[in-house]
Amino acid sequence: MAAPPVSTRRSVRAVIAIVAATLAAGAALALEPAEIDRRADDLIARMTLEEKVGQLTLVSQGPGYRPEMVLSGRVGAVINFNNPQDIAAAQAAARRSRLGIPLLFGLDVLHGFRTMFPLPLAETATFDPDLARLAATWAAREAAYVGVQWTYAPMADLSRDPRWGRMIEGFGEDPLLGRSFTSARIAGFHAGGLATSVKHFAGYSAGAGGRDYDETEIPPATLHDLYLPPFKAAVEAGTETVMSAFNALNGIPSTANPALLTGLLRDTWGFDGFVVSDWSAISELVAHGIAADDAEAGRIAIQAGVDMDMMSGVYERTLADEVKAGRVPQAVLDRAVRRVLRTKLRVGLFERSDADPSRTDAVFPTPESRQAARAVARESMVLLRNEAGTLPLAAGRSIAVVGALATSPLDLIGPHGARGHAQDGIDVLGAIKERAAGAGASVAFAPGCDGMCADGSGFDAAIDAAGRADLVVAVLGEPVDMTGEAASRAYLTPPGRQRELLERLVATGKPVVLVLIAGRPLELGPVVDRLAALLLAWYPGTEGGHALAEILFGDVNPSGKLPVSYPRTVGQVPLVYNRLPTGRPTRADNRFTLRYFDERVDPLYPFGFGLSYTRFAFSDLVLPRDGLSQGDTLQVTATVRNAGDRAGRVAVQLYLRDLVASRSRPVRELKAFRKIALEPGERRSLTLEVPVAELGFHGEDGSYRVEPGRFQVWLGEDSAADLTGFVEVR
């Protein structure tokens, strides 16, 4: 990137100084726990019933927002305020209320505020939690700069179903990735100055049929082994709040589940922040058939442990009367209010200076935030296929770029764009042209069709452009509206006639590099075997265009790995690597084994998979010879060699299987990973460690145990790694 002009550099320095000062001030505000309790109790003693209910009420910026609610102390927190003028005005109203209790300003800040980073699933593909921490730090810094204080993130929902559009907001199908990335994101948000709300507790991602908001059935042992550990990690990482989920889990809506929200979360895990409902989820208890009316819904939710009502207005409308009538004990109300006030005191809201209305998020992106966004985007893209070294692109060739997504920077931002602006980024075509100019390559463009590709009238022009070029870069996938919340899909194909366009491009005989812009693995059909290369770019953010061009032209060696298995077809879903074994493992010569009649049973690309422009070789596996005791740490050492002629980064992955146990255990489980950089020819001896305490599993009653016996170990660069050995746990 060219050096920024002097005036920009000065403003950047000013921004960094202000951000640093804000953070330092926040750190200095930390109050002693006893002082927090004293002040919370003192306020509670002085509050009216209506003011107490107010602290449990969260409203949104928008048509329903009335400043007088804040002035009269009937709102405790707000969502969707995202500029400092509105934030300052609302906070000033709160300060003028009778007790002057400040509002908490929340927003969905997932993958950036103004500078957009890749979506969380894409960040997870880096297999480098430090990069997720960096992204979260920047997102928080920028949001905190304009006065946002609280993010509804990270999403800690393990997702095993790509039909579910929200898969892109999480970390994929593996609980270790879930724990590592959830903790890293919380640390990053905190470092940048935001409080967090881990969500959606619990089981939201397993909606039947991949349908958003649908019921989920998760057996207790599976819940404890797979779905809950990332949430537990969030509590350990100090999340200030937890968001309860919309769904019914095993027949009980999570918003009405005391065993989850109080028993597990507080009594077992020791969480002592507050729980906020998801959007209107309390009133939805009526539609769930759990409550007859709003008043009952409110009673059930607050008793279960939902402290704050996001946008259903149930607490506001009914709670005071319920308390007066004795149907909700005063102590239950006070307990929720205390949790909210303590959290506000803990994060320093009472002492913090309010948002400065003269600020603007237009000071972002800065050169530094762009650099960070590009660093993450570079490592998030996953090279899935590269026949005969098609990539990186050779110099001096003529390239036909095809696909409307190549000229849409908005679609590079992805869902939950916060204050991201399309014009802050460069589109794919622009970035390819910019880079091609330096490589003596020529670039022609034909969209073929628009993003949804219902109309094929532009296909001929695209085929002509392909015919005149040496190589085609097709940029296809899901326009942003097709992914995220409320974007469950029954088909996993690219929309409209995109596949037909791709098939026609391939039929020209020109090598076709497919760049997929998408929130999940997409079903490409048989044409995938005829692609010259396939790069899953996800929604890569503000610097995504540049990062993509760097990969295509070989300035950057791709190193992303799939955080989810890539199915061949939607009919295989759910298809995950860490499945339980069957008594009839797949055999090609035996119909009566685990198979489909009409499709292969394995994924198109396995979990953890991703190619590089170099090759890595793994050898010399060293495992402990003696049995390990329960308190030990398993150390697995191997040599990793860069066997190619380019420098590269590789995510080394360690998998284990508990061979004989009292319950069937997964055929493989990721137990450790580390991303390392190797120069051409360089070899490194690497040791990955797993505490033996992490080799256990849960029973149906939620109890955890590590059983003695033999474990098989694999080490390599994806879940199909074949360097293997055995260890014994005593």
**Interaction site with ligand BGC (CB under 6 A):** 79, 108, 152, 199, 278-279, 485
* Shorter beta-carbon distance to ligand BGC: residue 312 or 653: 312
* Shorter beta-carbon distance to ligand BGC: residue 108 or 718: 108
* Shorter beta-carbon distance to ligand BGC: residue 197 or 642: 197
Residue from 71, 147, 138, 64 nearest 104 by CA: 147
* Shorter beta-carbon distance to ligand BGC: residue 61 or 724: 61
| CB of residue 687 to ligand BGC, shortest distance in Å | 39
| CB of residue 254 to ligand BGC, shortest distance in Å | 12
- Any idea which residue has 């009420």 for tokens? 57
Burial 411-429 (b: 16+ CB within 10 A, else e): bbbbbbbbbbbeebbbbbb
Provide the CA 33 distance to its chain's centre, in angstroms.
32
* Shorter beta-carbon distance to ligand BGC: residue 157 or 550: 157
Question: What value, to the nearest 5°, has the Cα angle with vertex 221 and ends 654 and 282?
Answer: 115
Give one DSSP letter per residue of 462-496, joined into a string: HHHHHHHSSEEEEEEE--GGGSSTT---S--SPST
Residue from 504, 482, 484 nearest 495 by CA: 482
How far apart (Å, rounded) are the C-alpha atoms in residues 31 and 271? 18
How far apart (Å, rounded) are the C-alpha atoms in residues 672 and 480? 33
Q: What are the structure tokens assigned to 686, written together?
A: 């690497």
* Shorter beta-carbon distance to ligand BGC: residue 144 or 245: 245
* Shorter beta-carbon distance to ligand BGC: residue 110 or 575: 110
Q: Quote the strand ranges of 4-117, DSSP E.
A: 57-60, 77-79, 104-107
| CB of residue 108 to ligand BGC, shortest distance in Å | 5
* Shorter beta-carbon distance to ligand BGC: residue 199 or 657: 199
| CB of residue 77 to ligand BGC, shortest distance in Å | 12
| CB of residue 425 to ligand BGC, shortest distance in Å | 23
Q: Quote the strand ranges of 138-208, DSSP E.
A: 150-151, 195-201
The torsion angle over the Cα atoms of residues 625, 627, 628 and 633, rounded to 10 degrees, is 10
Residue from 675, 25, 111 nearest 369 by CA: 111
Residue from 17, 29, 641 nearest 348 by CA: 29
The residue annotated as part of the active site, out of 108, 157, 225, 278, is 278
Burial 507-536 (b: 16+ CB within 10 A, else e): ebebbbbbbbbbbbbbbbeebbeebbbbbb
Through-space distance between the first and last CA atoms of the chain, rounded to whole angstroms: 56
| CB of residue 357 to ligand BGC, shortest distance in Å | 24
How far apart (Å, rounded) are the C-alpha atoms in residues 486 and 463? 35
The residues near 661 (Cβ < 8 Å, ≥ 6 apart) are 697, 707, 709
- State which residue has the least CB distance to ligand BGC: 152
| CB of residue 413 to ligand BGC, shortest distance in Å | 17
* Shorter beta-carbon distance to ligand BGC: residue 199 or 421: 199
**How far from 436 is each of 445, 466, 534, CA to CA, in Å?**
13, 17, 19
| CB of residue 647 to ligand BGC, shortest distance in Å | 39
Q: What are the structure tokens assigned to 534, written together?
A: 């396939």
How far apart (Å, rounded) are the C-alpha atoms in residues 609 and 717? 7
| CB of residue 110 to ligand BGC, shortest distance in Å | 9
* Shorter beta-carbon distance to ligand BGC: residue 334 or 485: 485
Which residue pairs, CB below 8 angstroms and at least 24 apart, start in 434-438? 434/549, 435/549, 435/550, 435/552, 435/553, 435/555, 436/399, 436/553
Question: What value, to the nearest 5°, has the Cα angle with vertex 582 and ends 580 and 587?
Answer: 125
> Is omega for the bond preceding 288 within 30 degrees of 0, making it cis?
no
* Shorter beta-carbon distance to ligand BGC: residue 213 or 269: 213
The residues near 68 (Cβ < 8 Å, ≥ 6 apart) are none
The DSSP secondary-structure symbol of 404 reads G
Determine how many CB atoms are found less than 10 A away from the CB of residue 563.
Answer: 28
User: Does 278 qualify as catalytic in the annotation?
Assistant: yes
Residue pair 535/392 in contact by the 8 Å Cβ criterion: no
| CB of residue 255 to ligand BGC, shortest distance in Å | 12
| CB of residue 485 to ligand BGC, shortest distance in Å | 6
For the annotated catalytic residues, the residue numbers are 278
